[in-house]
Structures are given as C-alpha cells and as structure tokens.
Amino acid sequence: MADDERRPWMQNRRLEFIEWKLYWDGALNRSDLENTFSISTPQASVDIRQYREIAGDNISYNATEKAFLPAPGIKPRFLTVSADRLLIQLRAWLTGALPRRDLWFKAMPSIDMAPDLARHVDPDCLRLVLQAMAKREVLEVRYQSLTNDRWREIAPHALAFDGYRWHVRAWACDRDDFRDFVLTRIVEIKAGAAAVFDPDDDIEWKTKTKLLLAPHHGLNEQQSLAIQRDFNMIDGRLEVEVRLSMAYYFIMRMNLDLDLKPSRAQICLENLQQVQSAIEEAKEESCRRIASRKAASGPASKA
C-alpha cells in the first residue's frame, strides 16, 4: 500500500495545502495551516516537518521573510497543478458557487468577469429528473418550447451541458425518439409510470466523434500562430472528442457552421460535413433499432 493511502485523508489534504501555498501563493506560514484547518501550532509544525521529510527539495525556510518558500524548481508531490482548475475555482467564487474558504489564497488576487446570464434550474425539478434517471421512470412535464406550451411524457436517462444551458437527454414517449429538453423550460413536473425504452438505442448519445479544429484558413501566419497558442494546438490542429448529441451545440456555440470573417471566426472545423453526416446516420440507426425492438415485442408494447 502506498504511503499516501496509509495516511489519513485529512493529513494528505494538509500536505496538499502546503504545496498549494508554496506553488500558487509563493509562501507558507504555520498560521496558514492553523487557520485553514483549525489545528494547533504543534500539529502544524508536525505537518510541515513531515512534508520536509517527504519532499524537502521543494521547500526552505527564509529567516528574513519568516516564512517557508518554494524551491525554484518545485515539483509538487501532493498537488495536481492545473491552471484550468484554479481559474474555474476563481470563476465559481465570483459567481457565488464556491465559498471564499475553499480558495486558499491569503489575499485574493484582483479579478472580475464579464456578466454571465445565469439560467435558473428549479431544484425540485432537478431532483425529480435525477430520481427518474435512476429508476428509469417516465416524467410528465409541462414544457415551454419556442412554439408552444404543452404537457409531454419523457423518460430521462442523462444530463448534458451545452456551454450555456443544462439539458435532460430523454426518450420522448410521444415521438418515439431521443431528444434534449432544456431544464429551465420545464414549467411543471410530476412523476409518471415506469418507462419502456432502452438508453442503448440513443446512438447519438452513445457515439463519440472527433472534431478536427484548426485556425481559420483565412488568417495570416501571425494570426494563425496566436490561435494555435490560444487553444494549445499541436502542429496547427486540435482534436476534440465529443458525443454526437453534443457536437451540434458545440458547432453552433463556436459558429463553426457560419461563413464569418476569418478574424471573427478564428477557428474552423475541418470535418464539418463528416460530423453532420455522422449525426444523421446516428439518428437513422436509432430509428431502426427502435422500430425493430417494437416489432419484436409486439403491438402490446407501448413507450
């Protein structure tokens, strides 16, 4: 058994905190451990001593600053270094989704973000959706689409976020197919009966494809290099794996199906036609499977 597994979870957490402070804050004091974890000074000293025994090359005490400082070539042992994770946490703090105590900065950096139009999902609605997914039950929902407001029967089997909105991926009982329903457009919801459907028939959800992204071909060399750096492209290309059911939203969100100016579009989808064809083929395969299953089960079968 590894040493990390033998140590109590909270102790590993404090060792991770030590590295977080060294890596991101650039300094650590015993009081940081004491205040964050509500531990005594002797316990904080034990944690620091233990860390120095494990990864002493990462840390040194500076008498002038009266703090522990990171080594120039610090190699975290307990901390998974991720700029993306830290920036997501900062954004979550700005939106109120993450409390200040979960961010280990001694002093928060000056940050802000452009306004984000949040779509409110009713917690009771989400609770019933999750329960129906677990029990494979039908829900009766009054759904407000862009064209009408009516009651529908759906059997949810997954949740999906398109970058702006949360959807429930569900079997639409009245249409005999799988569709996305925006959670915020469910006006009323109540439990229904057991559902007769197979999520494996949702080929769009089950099948993943690769989007081949590249700088827009109309950009000049310097513009292209800037876009490659933005998206960490390798050899001028970026492969993004996505479910077929989510590819549509990604293409729409990134305007990859529109004929925009190169400076506005910035990136292009080199296999757009292939992806669109794959989506249509998946829809057709789902229809074939559903029809075959219903025929095999006889006329008494009802979704």
- Residue 256 has which token pair? 């990859």
Tell me if 290 is assigned to some domain: no
- The pLDDT tens digits of the residues spanning 43-102 come to 999 999 999 999 999 999 999 999 999 999 999 999 999 999 999 999 999 988 899 999
Q: End-to-end alpha-carbon separation of the chain, Å? A: 50
How high is the pLDDT of residue 226? 97
CA distance 252 to 269: 11
How high is the pLDDT of residue 303? 42
How high is the pLDDT of residue 193? 82
> Which residue type occupies 169?
R
CA distance 205 to 149: 26
Q: Which among 279, 257, 278 has a CA at the least distance from the CA of 268?
A: 257
How high is the pLDDT of residue 295? 83
CA distance 112 to 141: 38
The radius of gyration of the chain's CA atoms, rounded to the nearest angstrom, is 26
Together in a domain, 9 and 77: yes
CA distance 128 to 134: 10
Q: What are phi and psi of 139, to 5 degrees?
A: -115, 140
Bridge partners (DSSP) of residue 189 are: 141
DSSP three-state, residue 70: strand
Beta carbons of 252 and 221 less than 8 angstroms apart: no
CA distances in angstroms from 67 to 26, 62, 64, listed in the order given: 10, 6, 8
Q: What are phi and psi of 63, to 5 degrees?
A: -65, -30
How high is the pLDDT of residue 4? 64
Beta carbons of 239 and 211 less than 8 angstroms apart: yes
Q: For the chain, which residues score pLDDT lower than 50?
A: 1, 300-303
- Domain count of the chain? 3
Strands of 137-144's sheet in order across: 177-182, 166-172, 149-161, 137-144, 186-194
CATH number at residue 44: 1.10.10
- Residue 91 has which token pair? 């954004």
Find the domain containing 220 and state its range. 205-281
Tell me if 36 is assigned to some domain: yes
> Which residue type occupies 215?
P
pTM comes to: 0.80
How high is the pLDDT of residue 302? 45
Beta carbons of 137 and 195 less than 8 angstroms apart: yes
Together in a domain, 170 and 240: no
Together in a domain, 225 and 272: yes
State the Cα angle at 83 between 82 and 89, rounded to 5°.
95
How high is the pLDDT of residue 201? 95
CA distance 31 to 33: 5
Together in a domain, 169 and 219: no
Together in a domain, 192 and 209: no
Tell me if 117 is assigned to some domain: no
CATH number at residue 262: 3.30.70
What is the pairing mode between strands 177-182 and 186-194?
A: unpaired
